[in-house]
Amino acid sequence: MRRSLPRSMCFIIFCNQTMCRALLYLGQPVLLDHLLYQPDSALVRQSYMPKMLHLLNLAGFGLRAWDPVSHSPASPFMYGSPSLPVFDRNLKNMAEKVRASCVLGHVRGVAYSTTVDISLQNVHPFQFPGVPLALAHNGDLARMSEMKPLLVPFVRPDFLTEIRGTTDSEWIYALIVSALPDPRRHATREELLAAIERAMDILRAARAQLGIALSSSVNLFIADGTQLAAVRYCFDFGCYATDDPARVHEANLNYLSLWYTLGRGYGMHDDGSGNKEWRMSGGAENADSIIVASEPLTRDTSTWVEVPEYSILHAELTRGTPVVTVRYLD
């Protein structure tokens, strides 16, 4: 477990990282509008007015939402668009109608570059046909184009043909689902955690083989309708290129943020002084729902807990109550 700078020669950062915003929800069915649009720091609001990362996320929006009373409840509602979610009327109309018990949403941010591809194929979450697991990513793996040939042997051949985009995120997803005993059924908690750990080991070995020692964040958001997992991780935190100090960005100066809250009755509540605000109620001991997000969705952040660095947070419902565990990564 690493909690300090892993190398002594660690200086200034170059700002060429993808900084997205994402959320996970598991619990009692909730209107998508209450996660995406209405709260003070709703996910769509974070795309243009983030409170914890002052970098606009203008490269698209994607969603998976599982509704237990819909037709074929094991299959999620799927939505993706490379356009700005704040102007997306289709998304807003759907959000006002759909209630879901499990949600994975993502707004994509990319480096300001003419070489970046803004396309539907690169919109998160990623989910291969017939695979229950979906994944979104916040971060950027340095020199990913060089790593891909080293990763190919660890991806199932039938999944290699499913990789359509150009992102490092889709390759991380392919590594994780390839490490599952049977990717086409719901994984157990231990199978999912082991697959995540295996994927991180493969990435670490590839970086070592290529001599890559640049800070590379890997915050992951994973769900399959019955469970969720969130990873807060960074390879070689504190080690950066020093050729252009003017390109330093705040996103590279700290671990990418990741928070969660437990409770029940998520919605608009009276704060005791006649004012209403968005929050969970009931406390963790009476929880029936959990939200995990890049930053707290609500103005009141007192009930939100920061996910530790170098860890996987896992949650699943047992008799209607979220059971949360945290496992640390090497």
Q: How many CA atoms lie within 13 A of 178 on its CB side?
A: 23
CA dist., res. 160 & res. 177, Å (int): 11
**Res 127: pLDDT:** 98
**Res 188: pLDDT:** 98
Domains and CATH numbers, the chain: 21-328 (3.60.20.10)
Both structure tokens of 63:
């969603």
Global model pTM greater than 0.95: no
| 23: CB partners within 8 A, 6+ apart | 35, 43, 103, 104, 105, 221, 291, 292, 293, 294, 297
DSSP H or E run through 197: helix 189-210
**Res 306: pLDDT:** 96
**Res 3: pLDDT:** 42
User: What is the pLDDT confidence band of residue 327, given thresholds at 50, 70 and 90?
Assistant: very high
**Res 281: pLDDT:** 84
Q: Check pLDDT > 60 for residue 115.
A: no
Q: In the predicted model, what is the mean pLDDT of residues 179-185?
A: 98
Q: In the predicted model, what is the mean pLDDT of residues 118-128?
A: 88
Parallel/antiparallel/unpaired status of strands 99-107 and 216-223: unpaired
Percent of the chain with pLDDT over 90: 65
Tally Cβ neighbours within 10 Å of residue 307: 19
**Res 265: pLDDT:** 87
Higher-confidence position of 317 and 113: 317
pLDDT in tens, 197-256: 999 999 999 999 999 998 899 999 999 999 999 999 999 987 877 666 655 555 566 789
| Residue 227 CA to its chain's centroid (Å) | 14
Q: In the predicted model, what is the mean pLDDT of residues 42-57?
A: 72
Mean pLDDT of the chain: 87
E strands along the chain, which residues? 21-31, 61-66, 77-81, 99-107, 134-139, 216-223, 227-232, 234-235, 259-270, 276-281, 289-293, 305-306, 311-318, 321-328
Higher-confidence position of 52 and 300: 300
Q: In the predicted model, what is the mean pLDDT of residues 32-57?
A: 80
Size (the chain), residues: 330
| Residue 280 CA to its chain's centroid (Å) | 21
**Res 251: pLDDT:** 53
**Res 64: pLDDT:** 98
C-alpha distances (whole Å) from 133 to each of 127, 200, 249 are 6, 17, 33
**Res 248: pLDDT:** 52
Q: Check pLDDT > 80 for residue 94.
A: yes
Is the previous residue joined to 296 through a cis bond, with omega within 30 degrees of 0? no
Q: Are 107 and 47 in contact (CB under 8 A)?
A: yes
User: What is the pLDDT confidence band of residue 55, given thresholds at 50, 70 and 90?
Assistant: low
**Res 267: pLDDT:** 86
Both structure tokens of 121:
């194929």
